[in-house]
Structure 1
Amino acid sequence: MMTLRPMIEADLAAVLRIEQACFPRAWTREHFLAEIGSERGTPVVAEFNGQVAGYLCLSVLLDEAEILDVAVDPALQGRGIGVQLMQWACAEALRQGAALLRLEVRATSIPAITLYERFGFVRSGLRKAYYEQGIDALLMDKNLIEEDVDAV
């Protein structure tokens, strides 16, 4: 069984383990603490069978929202956890008054890009050699619609 709940400091050991397994240049404990304490931030964790299986950090400012970080434990990928995190992000951004949701992703991360496109994100730009080893960052946007709330 999977549930979503606000991220708390006690989650950070598990969150950091997932972050380090998923990203060569991982966020630090301080990054996540800043999101937990942020006025604009809404970080959540996905629990699967009682363990932290993934997380998403959402930031909303006026009518724009951004997914700052999202990951699922590699051992638990393919179980719909990423889908549920994305459904939540779309609905929560809309509930907080955003009309546009943005994110950036490694241009080489085909599974993630495929998931985002499934949710209606479109490619809106490119940051050349943004990531380690000269990997480009693909910028993606989604216009939020009322159906995004109904999907949750």
Structure 2
Amino acid sequence: MLKHIVIIFASAIVLFGCSEKKLTEEMLLGQWNCQNTLMRQINPKVANEFHDLELRPDYHAEYIKNGDQVLLKLASTSEIIDFDAIEKNKDTWQSIGEMETNNKIKFVLISNDELKQDIVFSIRDKTSKEIINLFNIEVICKRITD
């Protein structure tokens, strides 16, 4: 009986797939209200498990198209971020004094009007390359429709 259930489950995966819907730039364009749903940190030198951090307030984000570029504008600052640079630099470490930082963001489309961002922000010692702090952040953004 168990063997039949496994075969049916495997067949369903093959027939219907289990992949996430691909997020395109066009889907991203527009205004979003974003809420941190998870913020946690680990310091590998001190402990081997994450501990929760206080969630940041909601924020407003807008993705706009400028020529071939998609730009992220945050309402709380005047900063404009090149969305393509986020993807291109995910394996690049940025030098800040005696440390280096890395920011990896994975976008998951929940629906046409809701997306999730899984963010891993790492800080390491520039000389030893040892991770000093690791942050895991989850953000849910809902499209603002007027």
Select the structure that is richer in helix: 1
Relative contact order higher in (CA < 8 Å, ≥ 6 apart): 2
Whichever of the two has the greater Rg, that structure is 2
TM range (shorter): under 0.3
Select the structure that is richer in strand: 2
Name the TM-score, length of structure 2 as normaliser.
0.24
